[in-house]
Structure 1
Amino acid sequence: MYPKIKVRRAVNAFFSYTFVTAIMLNSRSVWMHLNHTGGKFSECMLLLLMGSFLGYLLTKGRLNYNYLGITMMIILIVTGYIGFWLVITNYKLVSGSKFILATATILSYYYLSDVKERREVLLRYRNLVLFVATVSMICWLLFSMLKLGSPTSHVFSTWTGTDEPKSVASYYGIYFESQILHGFVRNTAIFTEAPMASLQFTIGFLIEFLVSEKVHPLNRILFTLAILSTTSTTGILLILFFWLYTIISAKNYGTIIALIKVTIVPVALIAAVIIANVMLTAKMGESSGSIRTDDFIVGMKAWSHKPLLGNGFNNSDALKAFMGGWRSYNTGFSNSITQLLAQGGLCMFLLYMLPIFSNFKNFLRNRKYRVFLVGFLYLFTFTMFTYQYILILLIAFLSDRAYESPDLSVDKLKE
């Protein structure tokens, strides 16, 4: 390979990594919600996203013009649709316009890439999340569990139940103790709370299992341990049933796996059901569990108020209006599905869901795609990342018809 080509590819990979860095940091990282500076950091992430895309495009080499027409059509339809809805609802036009810019940038990056590059952007996201997960587990064990060091500084986060800033311990700016539950420090890594850290680790876990062609046992173990360290019920239940599914659906692994299926799997399945029941019961017994349940009720009530167009882009006041006084200490929200319905109505809900379910042929033909979709819908139902950049990327991936043919399926992508 010529030196110039090597340099160009290295620079191209660099821009690809800065692109996924912007996507990850947009996903409720601590810096997004710092008092006084969170808004500026959010704008910087949008600029980084757009700048990285431009750099990636300029160092990409030859552009496949076969993708250009369809990409432009997709961008115009999606951004025009969101823009029309934004004007009609007339709420947070500036924030909504930034969301349109981010959506257009991510979709442009994705659809102007060939099939191999589309997979690579997900794998690079996995690599980045794996790095954060590994560093966070080391810091969590040394600082939070073994108490081998003291916080090097404190920051003030506005990601609270009442939007009042709270002090968060920071260790060298690479690990934050954002959430302490009954004296136990949960691993929140660089994110605002454990569910957000668990969301990132779980997405990385799904990509590792279902998109990566190569099996990396260490990566799978690290993601599993990272999710466990967050003590997030949503993440733990997903990996619990996912590992069981992996063993049950395993093929051509000889008599050992066959023996495990016959003897251990039934016992493990019963244990998994018991553990899930205990975790859910404990969760429901806590105030956070009651609030999560109430969030679904609140979301549906707010949606019924304006079912077609919703209450406006990221309109949290519309949700708070239906919350009872008993939860005045925590008016945050916890799921994407009813938030989207309440704020975007059927109009935006269909924009999110139709592209995915229009790819039904892939759902029928590709087992790994089915599992990924189920995992995605599970996270979308029980975690809030409605307007985060990573959601746009995942929707683009799940709606991509390039994976319909057998030789281009997620598990058989050709180099």
Structure 2
Amino acid sequence: MIKRNQLNLFLQYILAFLIILETRSVYSRCVVGHIDEIIIGGIILTIILIILVNMNYKLKTKSLFFLLFYYLYMFIFLIINVDGYNVNFVIIFMILFPLVFLMLNLYDSKEIKNLFKAYVNIMVIISAISLFFYIFGSLTGMVSTNIIQEINWGGDYGGNKIINGYFGLHFNTQTTVIFGDAILRNTSIFVEGPMFALHLLFAMALSLFMNKKLINKYSIIFGFSILSSLSITAILFYMFLLFYKYTFYNKSKTKIILLPILFFIFLIIGTTFFNDKQSTNSYNIRNDDYTASFRVFNDYPIFGSGFANNNIVIKYMSKFRLYNTGLANSFVVLLVQGGLYLVIFYLLPVILNSLNLIKSKNKNLFLIEIMLLQLYLFFMNAYQYTSLMIIFLAFDYYILLFYNKNNDLKNLQLKEETYEKI
């Protein structure tokens, strides 16, 4: 008979894999078939199974009151700002978020760690495969593409895009301009480089505090993968993560000498990349996103212009970018579509958690790092309605409600003397 711990671990790996596939992978954006629906259905089913496996744990009363308030909060938004019966809104906010919150309530800190580890382990395998095909396929052509896929992401004027790939394990989806030259980005199985980098940063942040050594096989593989994604913002935050870990966990006196040098290198590289980025269309589009979004916000400040509705913000966009009308990060999307109502719901737990954790006597450096990463990516990537965002959003509210009065949750602090191998 399968033990509950083994079943939990098996379901955690399935859940982590499906979350990765659902969050901006090529498979979640395929035009043919209903793969995206199968993936999100699999996520919901897996979470339900996890809840059933762990039902012998007592559900906290505070959790029930929170969910009651949450449903009231979202129902108000549904009535006012969701046009008709929007299946996506129901799935994301009325089903997925509450299920994830319940799952976390039934988990102890060990099971939360195991879920994080499952995500890291799967991402390191995906990263290693991507590096192989990127080097021997995308860059050198030693391995030829053998499949063609049509996705509803990245096409001009909101249309579909045809991409090629290698055995369904790696796809060439995007190029970028670096120092005047167009270069293929390592996008792995994802729709674009920044979305691959999004997963890499989460995996890197989780893995750093699960390994005693700063430089290990995980940080090396994730580092090269982030570099090959050619995402400037991801490269800079990767360096920050190393800097953060080294600063707070290295007790050697040599760090007094090395820290200024590392910071100077970080500043030079960041400035160089930023100056180069200023001349690109990507930079101009991001600036235009904010201009157009705040004009919409001025018209619809409280509830936004409508869930999943970008028609109004497009009217305010500059003509030079009408071939690309997608908004670039989660903040501007939520500001446009949900106004202050949704922006506050997303940012409140991250900001309050960050302040509480920083002010606490025994600082949980691991959780502070995760909160800072989420805050950073919120303004860098558009992934506001993905399962990855919803998982961490539910996690943030769980930490906000229970961290101070739950000693078990404080075990998520991975101190140097209690590191575990992943």
TM-score, normalised by the number of residues in structure 1: 0.89
After TM superposition, which residue ranges in structure 1, 4 or more long, deviate above 4 angstroms?
A: 213-216, 412-415
Q: Show structure 2 runs of 5+ residues with no match.
A: none
Identity of paired residues, percent?
24
Contact 1:12 1:55 in 2 (8 A): no
Q: Deviations over 1:194-252 (max 9, x none)?
A: 00000010111111124x36557111111111111101011001012222333333433
Q: Deviations over 1:339-396 (max 9, x none)?
A: 1111111111121122333434223222333232222111111111111111122223
Indicate yes or no: 2:350 matched with 1:363: no
- TM-align CA RMSD: 2.3
Q: Secondary structure at the match of 2:157?
A: coil
Match of 2:81 among 86, 89, 99: 89
Q: For residue 246 of structure 2, what is the amino acid of its counterpart?
A: I
Specify the alignment match of 1:102 in structure 2. 96
Contact 2:57 2:106 in 1 (8 A): yes
Q: For residue 17 of structure 1, what is the amino acid of its counterpart?
A: Y
Specify the alignment match of 2:276 in structure 1. 282
Specify the alignment match of 2:396 in structure 1. 398
Contact 1:177 1:188 in 2 (8 A): yes
Specify the alignment match of 2:183 in structure 1. 184
Match of 1:174 among 166, 169, 172: 169
Aligned partners of 2:333 and 2:115: how far apart in 1? 28
Once the two structures are TM-superposed, the CA of residue 409 in structure 1 deviates from its matched residue by: 4.7
When structure 1 is superposed on structure 2, of 22-31 and 229-238 the one drifting more is 22-31
Specify the alignment match of 2:379 in structure 1. 381
Specify the alignment match of 1:114 in structure 2. 108
Once the two structures are TM-superposed, the CA of residue 10 in structure 1 deviates from its matched residue by: 2.5
Contact 1:314 1:343 in 2 (8 A): yes
Specify the alignment match of 1:411 in structure 2. 413
Specify the alignment match of 2:42 in structure 1. 48
Q: For residue 275 of structure 2, what is the amino acid of its counterpart?
A: T
Aligned partners of 1:36 and 1:300: how far apart in 2? 36
Q: Deviations over 1:26-84 (max 9, x none)?
A: 211112222243xx222212210121112223334x6211x254433333332332232
When structure 1 is superposed on structure 2, of 323-332 and 120-129 the one drifting more is 120-129
Indicate yes or no: 2:125 matched with 1:141: no
Q: Judging changes above 3 Å, is the alpha-carbon distance between structure 1 residues 373 and 57 closer, same or farther for their aligned structure 2 residues?
A: closer
Contact 2:18 2:42 in 1 (8 A): yes
Indicate yes or no: 2:160 matched with 1:165: yes
Indicate yes or no: 2:13 matched with 1:21: no
Q: For residue 363 of structure 1, what is the amino acid of its counterpart?
A: I
Once the two structures are TM-superposed, the CA of residue 5 in structure 1 deviates from its matched residue by: 5.0
Aligned partners of 1:113 and 1:250: how far apart in 2? 28
When structure 1 is superposed on structure 2, of 346-355 and 226-235 the one drifting more is 346-355
Specify the alignment match of 2:125 in structure 1. 131
Aligned partners of 1:260 and 1:363: how far apart in 2? 22
Q: Deviations over 1:77-129 (max 9, x none)?
A: 32332232022113262221121222222222222212221222222222222
Aligned partners of 1:213 and 1:406: how far apart in 2? 22
Aligned partners of 2:244 and 2:337: how far apart in 1? 35
Contact 1:364 1:370 in 2 (8 A): no
Aligned partners of 2:124 and 2:309: how far apart in 1? 33
Match of 1:259 among 250, 254, 259: 254
Q: How many residues align?
A: 401
Q: Show structure 1 runs of 5+ residues with no match.
A: none
Q: Judging changes above 3 Å, is the alpha-carbon distance between structure 1 residues 249 and 89 closer, same or farther for their aligned structure 2 residues?
A: same
